[in-house]
Structure formats: structure tokens, C-alpha cells
Amino acid sequence: CDYDGPAMKTQVPGPRSQELTKQLGEIQNVGAVNFFCNYNESRGNYLVDVDGNRMLDLYTQISSIPLGYNHPALIKLMAHPDNLSTIVNRPALGILPPGNFPEKLMESLLSVAPSGMTRVQTMACGSCSNENAYKAMFIWYRNKERGHNTPSAEDLSSCMVNQGPGCPDLSILSFMGGFHGRTLGCLATTHSKAIHKVDVPSLDWPIAPFPKLKYPLEEFARENAQEEARCLEEAEDQIVKWRHKGKPVAGIVIEPIQAEGGDNHASPEFFKSLRNIARKHGCAFHVDEVQTGGGCTGKFWAHEHWGMDDPGDIVSFSKKLLTGGFYHKNELQADQPYRIFNTWMGDPSKNLFLTEVLNVIRTENLLEEVTRSGKALLNGLYELQTQYPGILSRARGQGTFCAIDVCDDATRTSIILKARNKGVVLGGCGDRSIRFRPALVFKEYHVHLFLNIFNDVLAQH
Ligand SMILES: Cc1ncc(COP(=O)(O)O)c(CNc2csc(C(=O)O)c2)c1O
């Protein structure tokens, strides 16, 4: 179900894309539109645009397509009459769930539940999953502080006008370079690009530094360990400082690999230590797997590489799981109904697709494939950075969740655009990285196809 290679007819965006951008520009902001796509013709690892250009996709809709385009297992699901009512009728899941909902959740999301978690709350996207996870942490923290879960009369009256004690002065510790969404609460924990935050009010919550590792890791083990220790000490100091400010940290939120911030990695020891700091200070520990989850690091969850039985109190997800949501420990479940709530609370049709995606991952051993392709990709990137030391550096990655730094932003942009005109879709992250986010069906064959094209582009610079 894949094409045998890229095939370009025009520069991208082509004439039809440009025409459609003008049309859409009459309706909404089109500044971020790259080009228009033909999702009927797109297949497997190949994205076809409206001008008939066929490109090998290593960005996959901001890392949200698990099995590539139009996978037969998902198409087949649409033909099944039993699934029709699930796709046509969207229920308000919080109050009127379909009869098969528990079974479908067991089949899909609970079959890949993180270690130590048996509960999951579905949502629509990454931001609303994180927003509700934050609220769950605040509710948990206040009930712990009170010693019971009955707000006082003063709590109930003051919260109606956004004042304490009903609206408590609690905080969430996040990390510089982190990205957790663009809604108000998530945005207060997002620190990747100023354009995401400028002009929007925020909250006085603590922000700790995330380790800036030197590569290759084996050459800088001592410096990197010192850098991680510095960041951990700073994080713990912030927790103490915010408690003294009367704004205690209810939860810590972190990505296993900071993606938007520039594919910043840290060691399993770093995360183990941070998890222990959270326990020591009575904070919940929220692992944001929206971009790293779903198999792209070679394990279904990136936090599995930490080798911990108790990796977190909350794990949020979206993108490759086709629906948003968060797993959580029992004690993080809101104590009353209608506290973590909205109209849809997820989408059962997406759970149907996810069950199929998980079946394909298992039957085609895609996690092993990702590990194999990832090794070939990272070795190829190591070779290219040796060949073009003036342009490339800091090749890094886990599974196919890889990245490489370019000497400056302008050169990065030029490389991404040239690669696209040669039939490869790439994305950037941070201030100078190119990130690789292929689908789970990206084989070694595709790696070598990509590396050849990437080499041609670099040779022109
Ligand atoms: C680690 C992590 N956490 C939360 C989010 C927010 O998810 P959405 O709200 O975009 O579904 C994301 C979304 N990723 C993302 C990539 S570019 C982008 C954007 O809004 O520009 C967002 C994420 O990577």
C-alpha cells in the first residue's frame, strides 16, 4: 500500500496550492499553510499534494499519523456495518456512553496503559488532555491539603469570583523548552517560542531549566551528568521557593523528550531523580507523551525507556493515538462527577481506529521495525554530520524520533524547502533543529531513500 518513491511535478507549493491558499485566505489566517493535500491519493509513507507531487513524509501531520495514509486496516473498518453508528452518532460520553464503551476502552487504550495505571479519561486533543490533567492534579492536591474532599462555604463563594481560598494559589512546575499546548493553563507551562505566548496573560508558576546535553553522549558523560544534576537541583529549589511564596507546586509536568523545544533529551536517571523529587515534595508527576507516545521511540511509551515500575501519576497522550486523553493513578480521579468534564469527553470512533492501529503494530511487529529504521536513520545522520561538519551537528534520537542541528535558522529553512522540492517532507523544531517524525511503517528502505535525497540537498549547500 505504498508508492515506490517520490515523484515531483512542480515546485511546492504548486499553482493549485497557491490558488487554494488565496481562497482559504479569504476565510482564515493561512500564514502556516505549507501546501494543500490530496488525501485520496496519499498512501502509506507518501503524501500527495493537489498539484500531483508525491512526497516521502517524515513529518506526518506534526507526528500524528501512526500507520501512514489510507492504511487498508483502517479503510476496512469503515466498511463494517457495526461501526457505522459509532462513526455517525457522536455521544456525550460523560453522561450517555454507548453500551460497548467499556469494552472498546479495554480493547484500545487500556491494552497499552502505562505501568501502574488502570484508569484513563479520553479527551479531544493534547491541550485539552493536559488542561484537564492539570485540574485533576489541583483537585487531588487540595483534597490532600484539606484532609477531606468537602470544600468549605468560603471555598465555594470565593471561587465564584476567582479568588482564594476557593481558587487556591497552587502552581505547576514546568521546564524551559517544554511545550504542553496553547490553551491558557497549558500555555503557562509552555516555553518553546515567544510567538506562542506573547500578548496572552499567564501565571506565576515555577520554570526549571531542562538539561542541554553535549553530543556525542559517550564523549561528554561527565559534563552531561553535571548538567542534569544542576537542573535537578534548580527544580527542587523552585519547588521549595514556591512553597515559601504560598504557591505550592501541586504537580510537575515534563516531556520524555522536549519536542517543540528542539528535541532535547535527558537520561533515564534524570527522570528517575525528578520522579523522586516529586514524591519527596508531595507533587503529582505528569508525563506528557502527546508527541513521544505511540511507538515512535521504539517503545510504545517513551517513558518505558526509563525502566521504572511507577513512572508517573498521570500520562497524557494524543496525536498517534488518534484521540486525546490521560491515564492516571486511582487517587488522581476527581472525587465528584462534572469536575473533569466536557460535552464529548473524547470520540468513540477514534477508539475504533486506535484498536486497529494497535492490531497492526502488534501483527506487523512495528515497534521492532521502528527500532531498526531508527538505528539506520541515526547512523545515516551521524555519517552526514561527519561529511558536512559546517552545516550539521548533534545528531540524536530514540527509535525514529530523531533530530539534527543545522548551523543556523536560515540554512535550516533552506534545507527543508529544498528537500521538499526533491520529494521529502521535513519539519523543524527549536531554533535550529530538523526533527524526523516518520510513521511507524517507515522501513529501512525509506530511510535510505531519504538519506540519498538529504545528501543531495546538503551537497548543494
Ligand atoms: C508534548 C506536547 N504536548 C501537548 C501538545 C498539544 O497538543 P495539541 O493541542 O496540539 O493537540 C503538543 C502538540 N504539538 C505541537 C506541535 S506544533 C504545535 C503547535 O501548536 O504549533 C503543537 C505536544 O507536542
Mean pLDDT within 266-274? 98
CB-ligand 1 contact for 13 (6 Å cutoff): no
The closest alpha carbon to 362, from 269, 295, 435, belongs to 295
pLDDT at 124 exceeding the cut of 90: yes
pLDDT at 111 exceeding the cut of 80: yes
Kindly report the average pLDDT of the chain as a whole number.
Answer: 97
The answer to whether 287 touches 254, Cβ cutoff 8 Å, is: yes
Given this model, what pLDDT does residue 255 score?
98
CB-ligand 1 contact for 131 (6 Å cutoff): no
Q: For residues 285 and 276, what is the distance between their CA atoms, to the nearest angstrom?
A: 9
Mean pLDDT within 211-226? 96
| Closest residue CA from atom 22 of ligand 1 | 181
- Provide the whole-model pTM: 0.98
- What is the β-pairing status of strands 427-429 and 433-436? antiparallel
C-alpha cell at 210: 531542562
ipTM of the complex: 0.98
319 C-alpha to center of ligand 1: Å?
Answer: 8
Using pLDDT thresholds of 50, 70 and 90, give the confidence band for residue 1.
low
Q: For residues 170 and 1, what is the distance between their CA atoms, to the nearest angstrom?
A: 51
Using pLDDT thresholds of 50, 70 and 90, give the confidence band for residue 82.
confident
The closest alpha carbon to 174, from 114, 246, 231, belongs to 231
Atom number in ligand 1 closest to CA 291: 24
Backbone angles phi, psi at 187, to 5 degrees: -65, -30
CB-ligand 1 contact for 362 (6 Å cutoff): no
On the 0-12 / 13-18 / 19+ scale of CB atoms within 10 A, 98 is: middle
pLDDT digits (tens, 9 = 90+) for 196-208: 999 999 999 999 9
pLDDT at 277 exceeding the cut of 70: yes
SS3 state at 417: helix
CB-ligand 1 contact for 318 (6 Å cutoff): yes
Using pLDDT thresholds of 50, 70 and 90, give the confidence band for residue 373.
very high
The answer to whether 289 touches 297, Cβ cutoff 8 Å, is: no
186 C-alpha to center of ligand 1: Å?
Answer: 10
By percentage, how much of the chain surpasses pLDDT 90?
98
304 C-alpha to center of ligand 1: Å?
Answer: 21
Mean pLDDT within 298-323? 98
On the 0-12 / 13-18 / 19+ scale of CB atoms within 10 A, 70 is: middle
Residue 130 is which amino acid? N
Q: Which residue is associated with the grid cell 489510507?
A: 70
Catalogue the active-site residues: 179, 288, 319, 343
61 C-alpha to center of ligand 1: Å?
Answer: 11
Q: Which residues, including other chains, have CB under 8 Å from residue 76's CB and lie 6 or more apart?
A: none
CB-ligand 1 contact for 125 (6 Å cutoff): yes
Using pLDDT thresholds of 50, 70 and 90, give the confidence band for residue 2.
confident
pLDDT at 461 exceeding the cut of 90: no
Given this model, what pLDDT does residue 310 score?
96
